[in-house]
Amino acid sequence: MKRMMIGMAAAVSLFATGAMAADMAPRYAKAPPIVDPVWSWTGFYIGANAGYSWGRSNTDVSYFNTATGLPIAPPAGSITNARFDMNGAIAGGQAGYNWQRDNWVFGIEGDLQWSDEKGRAGYSCAAVPVLAGPCLPGLTFLPAAAAGGTTLTIDQSLQWFGTLRGRVGILATPKVLFYGTGGLAFGEIKTTGTMSGFTPAAVAVTSVGSTSTTRAGWTVGVGVEGKITQNWSAKLEYLYMDLGRFGSGPFTLAPAAAIGANVSSSFTDHILRVGVNYQFGGPVVAKY
């Protein structure tokens, strides 16, 4: 019995020692979760941009007699049509709103732009050899100085333009968006005509006139935008813009000479610009 009691005491002692050793073993805390930031594109934004535009004007000129209102058919050698470049720098601002759904981003954006695009072309209503012809109404002879007939120089400039577009894009990464865009375009084009000719008494005369028109058309394009921080992003964008056909004038030498000209133009534009946007709100969301 005595030996049994001693054995039981030894076993209890051994168990207690093991339990204490287990309590003294090092404890490890669970590691904190790894945060994977998700960059939200949903929200309002504003921004600024700058770039360059390669515009193109296709302009026709038609002449008429201001006394009778009848058209004048220019003789051979006259220049009545020209396509000319209207290139220049642009700068402006934009604002819009994005909705993000999974990897897709849908949005609407409007912008207004200052433009330095301008160009020039020359036109002529040629004189008929020996005779003055219809381009120098009232002249009965052709002095040497009037051999060129009546000339018209057209200067055009895009004063400003703007767009209102939808945007649809897909995220290549959470921070890089590729998108297509399209919608309404509008802008003001100023046309200045400088007409030079001769009176029936063979006196040289010149007149200058200007007209401005605001046109509406359409635009389409593509772009890429990348997040720099949670709220700031940068973009590169290309747009093709078409403001359609419009009339300018009439430009005339009346009452000194009974000749005038009407101008019909169409304008298209290739726009390349870079910009930055600031998105309001849109904090980073963490996934655990």
Nearest CA among 65, 57, 104 for reference residue 81: 57
* Digit-coded pLDDT (tens) for 178-231: 999 999 999 999 999 999 999 999 999 999 999 999 999 999 999 999 999 999
The answer to whether the CB of 36 falls within 8 A of the CB of 284 is no
End-to-end CA distance of the chain, in Å? 62
pLDDT at 253 over 90: yes
- Alpha-carbon span 31 to 28, nearest angstrom: 9
DSSP-derived secondary structure letter, 134: T
**In this structure, is residue 153 part of a structural domain?**
yes
User: Which of 166, 164, 180 lies closest to 216, judged by CA?
Assistant: 164
Number of other CB atoms surrounding residue 269 within 10 Å: 25
Report, as an integer, the average pLDDT of 12-24: 44
Token pair 């193109």 is found at 56
- pLDDT for residue 127: 87
pLDDT band, residue 281 (cuts 50/70/90): confident
Buried (b) or exposed (e) across 229-262, using 16+ Cβ within 10 A?
eeeebebebebebebeebebbbbbbeebbbbbbb
**Is 130's pLDDT higher than 60?**
yes
Domain count of the fold of the chain: 1
Q: Is residue 251 in some structural domain? A: yes
CATH number at residue 192: 2.40.160.20
pLDDT in tens, 103-114: 999 999 999 999
- Taken in order 273, 279, 283, 285, is the CA torsion positive or negative? negative
Average pLDDT of span 88-108:
97
pLDDT, greater one: 131 or 142: 142
Share of the chain above pLDDT 70, in %: 84
Is residue 255 reached through a cis peptide bond, with omega within 30 degrees of 0 on the bond before it?
yes
Q: What mean pLDDT comes out for the span 11-32?
A: 47
The stretch 35-62 carries a mean pLDDT of 90
74-78, 94-98, 271-275: range with lowest mean pLDDT: 74-78
| Each residue's pLDDT tens digit, 176-191 | 999 999 999 999 999 9
Q: With bands split at pLDDT 50, 70 and 90, how would you rate the model's confidence at 37? A: low
User: For residue 88, what pLDDT is reported?
Assistant: 98
For 7-103, list the strands marked E by DSSP. 36-38, 43-64, 71-72, 81-101
Q: What number is the average pLDDT over the span 264-274?
A: 98
The length of the chain is 288
Q: What is the mean pLDDT of residues 262-275?
A: 98
Q: Is residue 11 part of a domain?
A: no
Q: Which residue has the tokens 């049994």?
A: 4
Looking at per-residue pLDDT, the higher value among 245 and 147 belongs to: 245
Cβ–Cβ < 8 Å for 57, 93: no
Phi, psi at 4, each rounded to 5°: -65, -45
State the average pLDDT over residues 46-52.
98
Mean pLDDT of 123-143: 86
| Structural contact between residues 45 and 278, judged by C-beta atoms closer than 8 angstroms | yes
Report the mean per-residue pLDDT for the chain. 88
Residue 286, pLDDT > 50, answer: no
Q: Considering the domain boundaries, does residue 13 fall inside one?
A: no
Residue 14, in any domain of the structure? no
- What does each C-alpha distance from 107 to 32, 100, 246, 277 come to in angstroms? 37, 9, 31, 14
* Tokens of residue 107, six digits: 């949005």
What's the average model confidence in pLDDT over 81-96? Answer: 98
Q: Is residue 89 part of a domain?
A: yes
225 domain-assigned: yes
For residue 32, pLDDT over 60 is answered with: no
pLDDT exceeds cutoff 60 at 287: no
Is residue 28 a part of any domain in this protein? no
Segment (H or E) for 41: none
Which domain, by its residues, includes 88?
42-282
Of the pLDDT bands very low, low, confident and very high (cuts 50, 70, 90), residue 30 is low
